[in-house]
Amino acid sequence: MIKGKIKKGIKGIGLILALYFLYFLVFGVVIFNFIPPKDVDFYSIDGFFAEEPIQDFALLLEEGYQSGARKLSLIHNAQSTIDFSTYTFLGGDYTKIFIASLFQAADRGVKVRIIADGLFYNILNQSKVISYGFMAHPNIEFKVYEPFNFLKPWVINNRLHDKILIVDNKYAVIGGRNIGDKYVDLGPREKFALDREVLLINKDEGEIKGSVIQQFNQYFNLLWESEFAIRPRRILTARRESKGREKISLLLNFAEDKKEVYPEFFSQDLSWLEEGIPTNRVTLIHNPLSRFNKTPVIWQVLTGLMEWADDEIFVQSPYIIPTRKMRDYLDVEKVKAEITILTNSLASTPNLPAFSGYMAYRREIVDYAAKVYEYHGVGSIHGKTYTFDNRISVIGSFNLDPRSAFLSTETMVVIDSEEFTIYLKEEIENLLEQSLLVAPNYQYFNPQKARDVPIGKKVIINILRVLTYPFRHML
């Protein structure tokens, strides 16, 4: 009798899980095929250009360790405000030092606002304890963006993908780097994520009108006040506050112990800011803040610039998945410039589901673009960059895939500066030298230089190409 009840209970649980899986599949995946984006205004291409320099200077943050150090130096020197958004915090030394530095700034009286993606922040080890420390500090405000709700599976696709740091109405950093060791060249070299950021500097002391920093402030406030950005619902009890303060104390002690190991992470020198390059105009662009399918505002800007360019277009993205839905926004007959594409190879990519999407379109991409390079150096590329002729550079969080186009929050800056664009293209050459050009027969011109691909990885990719076909609009 007891065994019979147990069997019935197991069957009942199995039925509930099966029904929930069906519910999740319909409302978390399938429904996105049928809900069209809402119409919203998007940017005029003409507004990205100017003929005279403005107060904004641009400084490329290319090398990972240096980029991590320079962001920390801005935090160490902050005097009034720090606004920070990120997709995820990964574990490691840099994450601990970064969080400790934010607390040290708050202890100095700096007002700190932090917003992290609600899905990936919540699944991190110790994140709840750290959030108690955030909540307990009088100078820190903390929010999460769209935490997962089991009753609303559609929210799982409304992700915060921005990576932005704004300091003192003077500086803004934007790019593709999350917070973690592999983004600042710490840990195993084969795990490095080669990324790219740009620091925008407002050199007009005390005046942000006309500066892109003003646009960053407006966007961050929009994000902060969004219905999807919520304060943690956990009540800060005395016990939780004590645990939070204890955790932060451990982080501060950890940072103190690492000063001799990573001295650059604790430098307060800002003389490197003079390396900034003049710009004629810098414009922050972003996707709408909404659930379900978004109007692909950033993708519309990029396709407009593709049609504008006369000579050459460069595209770097770790994932290239040009679905039919994305191609509907591009009039290929109007694109007259030659296109060069840089993405990961099967050997380098760490994201097999996304790469399976690329493999589905690889032949079409090679046939269409003038040159397609696949990265074969150490680690993998994670930067998202687009250049048009020798004038316009676009850097930020946007991958060339349907998830970035239609689902996630994304931000990019459009930089009108011939000097900056030429410098950026010189840095890109370093990556191209570590990449292989794909031949018209879809093989490599220099196959002997290709990294070996484990047979297991090849098998998994072929399986994923089939399994992810119904979900390609979400890769």
pLDDT tens, N- to C-terminus, the chain (475 residues): 566 666 666 777 888 888 888 888 888 888 888 888 877 777 888 999 999 888 999 999 999 999 999 999 999 999 999 999 999 888 799 999 999 999 999 999 999 999 999 886 554 444 667 778 788 889 999 999 998 888 888 888 899 999 999 999 999 999 999 999 999 999 888 889 999 999 999 988 767 788 999 999 999 999 999 999 998 777 777 777 777 788 888 888 998 999 999 999 999 999 999 999 999 999 999 999 998 889 999 999 999 999 999 999 999 999 999 999 999 888 888 999 999 999 999 999 999 999 999 999 999 999 998 999 999 999 999 999 999 999 999 999 999 999 999 999 999 999 999 999 999 999 999 999 999 999 999 999 988 888 999 999 999 999 998 888 888 888 8
Whose tokens are 């990029």? That residue is 302
Residue-level pLDDT at 9: 66
- Closest to 320 in 3D by CA, of 291, 288, 346: 346
Residue-level pLDDT at 415: 98
Residue-level pLDDT at 124: 45
Please provide residue 198's backbone torsions phi and psi, each rounded to the nearest 5 degrees.
Answer: -135, 135
Find out whether 408 and 161 touch, Cβ atoms under 8 Å: yes
Dist CA 285 CA 262 (whole Å): 35
Convert the chain into a string of H (helix), E (strand) and C (coil). CHHHHHHHHHHHHHHHHHHHHHHHHHHHCHHHHCCCCCCCCCCCHHHHCCCCCCCEEEEEECCHHHHHHHHHHHHHHCCCEEEEEECCECCCHHHHHHHHHHHHHHHCCCEEEEEEEHHHHHCCCCHHHHHHHHHHCCCEEEEEECCCCCCCHHHHHCCECCCEEEECCCEEEEECCCECHHHHCCCCHHHCEECCEEEEEECCCCCCCCCHHHHHHHHHHHHHHCCCEECCCCCCCHHHHHHHHHHHHHHHHHHHHCCCCCHHHHCCCCHHHHHCEECCEEEEEECCCCCCCCCCHHHHHHHHHHHHCCCEEEEECCCECCCHHHHCCCCHHHCCCEEEEEEECCCCCCCHHHHHHHHHHHHHHHHHCCEEEEECCCCEECCCEEEECCCEEEEECCCECHHHHHHCECEEEEEECHHHHHHHHHHHHHHHCCEEEECCCCCECCHHHCCCCCHHHHHHHHHHHHHCHHHHHHC
Distance spanning both ends of the chain, measured CA to CA: 49
Find out whether 140 and 161 touch, Cβ atoms under 8 Å: no
Dist CA 179 CA 176 (whole Å): 10
Q: Residues 378, 382, 388, 393: is their CA dihedral positive or negative?
A: negative
Dist CA 146 CA 87 (whole Å): 12
pTM score, two decimals? 0.93
Residue-level pLDDT at 333: 87
Find out whether 48 and 414 touch, Cβ atoms under 8 Å: yes
